[in-house]
Structure 1
């Protein structure tokens, strides 16, 4: 296990480089979009897209982790199907080959022969070795065996913002309402027996621009929450006296209104579930509230582990409200990641049911639940 956390960080760094490369090649990028249909489509959006970047990142993470930790093979899961429509309308299964040439040849089947250089660049990025300068990672031993774990990958969370590519969206109180800043790589490890998230990595490929070159630079955050071990690259944010909440722009007006009365300021609005979870971990907001089942295991597993490492968590809103109304003192139910929802198909098998609340400080969770306990429909 000693090498698994550095491996998760390394694959997230490689994934971030692929994401930046795909955004930088605009003629190529326009060829990479394929619309999701059927049970894999997120019903929240009229158009939900996947890109070759999504699929390629997911498959490189599966390949690299499965090669380094054979015990994980078959237990590394992601948002995307590995099938992609090629230039002629056929179907190609995207995977990482044994060599950069093999991977480039497969990518050419998707992109078409006129994109040979782009395929080579992508293949080189996929096969490039990543060296981490974070020496602290090498000494961390969480004490759990890879054979007991599963992995959830969101190769590019907030794909719609990644596709739209708005690059200079001004932040509001430190929170970007949308744009490339909200497109993240999320990797989380969970205990296969209990579903509890134990390791998490959030990578921000588009954190800031290099002032000299104008190119995007990234950063990453990691957390460990296993047994009595709580380690994180972040420090727990100081609690505000009254919580400030971050919400989706599509959140119900009744929920917005109730949370606006908490006194920590008007709710902040942002795109991307992963980004809103990151805002809580960074202390830019004290809670992320979502009243509907529009997030999935791959959105929340990695950030959830980081929030647990900081002393917080992610609970199911519906169950937490029920426990609060009952007044029995029961702990709100935290999300789990090892069992699909019965009777559901496609992506809905792994939806987080009943909404969620993410937090670092328990008093903020209690304040949010008290504010929402009388909202109709919750």
Structure 2
């Protein structure tokens, strides 16, 4: 499992490189957008886009992990279908090939024969990333790789990635929108119980070098399995404390009753808004917010699995809001990742239907659940 974590850190950086290359080449980026339709469309948005970058990143991760850990390959799932339609209406299955030239030839069929764009992407796919400086030495996870599955969100907050606004990231403050919110998420869960045990979050657009104009990323990881809890984020660095009343991050589209109720608990100055489910949970991980509340079923297993593992490692978690509100005691129901919603179709089979609360501290969770009980 420690080897799997190191591999996931490496492939997340390769994925981040692909995401950056696609944004840096504006003519190429215009070719990479395709609107989602049918059962794969996220109902929350009027327009929801699937990019070729999404598909490539997902398939790169699947290929790399499957090659080193073949026992997992049938249990790697992601947000995207690897079928892409080119301008001629032809459906092409995107996979990573053995050589850069073979991958470029396949991508050229998606890109309507654009050999330059295909070669650029293929080079990013096959290029080994720079060494990842994550300290995982001595990590011993009491679980076999044959017992786990993986959820991939190749680019969470795709709309922010596509729009590409370059907001200034202020130390100690969250970013309401912009490229900072776009994340590569890789979550590992135990197949028997669905509990998240390991997560990697790569933020491809963390800081921009103003001289070169190139973006640098940032990596976060966490493991929570049995008695082992380890995380790249420490409480002392983030200043994660038991603040009462808590600060809460929400979606701007959140129900007014939820906004009003939490405003009465926290005060309006402690309600914040940001884009991207993964980014909002990352804000809780970093201590930029104490909790993230979502009353709608508009997030999915691939959004929450990776950051959920990091929060567990820090003593927090992510609960199903609807199911937890039904509990008569102070108990709560954590999200799990192994079973689909049988009545759902397409992507909705893996939705977090009951909404969620991501929290860093149990007492803060209790305060939030207490004020929301009876309101939803």
TM-score, normalised with respect to structure 1: 0.95
SS of 1:262 mapped into structure 2: helix
- What displacement does 1:135 show? 5.5
Structure-to-structure mapping, 1:1-378, within 5 angstroms: 1-113=1-113, 115-134=114-133, 136-168=135-167, 174-236=173-235, 237-263=240-266, 265-323=269-327, 326=328, 328-329=329-330, 331-375=331-375, 378=376
Aligned partners of 1:33 and 1:49 also within 8 Å: yes
Deviation readout 1:11-34 (Å, 9 max, x if unpaired): 110100000000011111111111
RMSD: 1.4
- What displacement does 1:146 show? 0.8
- Unpaired runs of 5+ residues, structure 2, are none
- Unpaired runs of 5+ residues, structure 1, are none
TM-score, normalised with respect to structure 2: 0.96
Aligned partners of 1:175 and 1:279 also within 8 Å: yes
- What displacement does 1:252 show? 0.5
- What displacement does 1:210 show? 1.1
CA distance in 2, matches of 1:299, 1:155: 10
Aligned partners of 2:250 and 2:292 also within 8 Å: yes
- What displacement does 1:215 show? 1.2
Aligned partners of 2:198 and 2:221 also within 8 Å: yes
CA distance in 1, matches of 2:317, 2:167: 31
SS of 2:74 mapped into structure 1: coil
Aligned partners of 1:87 and 1:109 also within 8 Å: no
Deviation readout 1:130-174 (Å, 9 max, x if unpaired): 353425224322121111000000000000111111112676971
Aligned partners of 1:171 and 1:177 also within 8 Å: no
Task: From the superposition, tell whether residues 107 and 148 of structure 1 become closer, same or farther in structure 2 (CA, over 3 Å).
Answer: same
SS of 2:17 mapped into structure 1: helix
Give the count of matched residue pairs: 371
Aligned partners of 1:12 and 1:185 also within 8 Å: yes
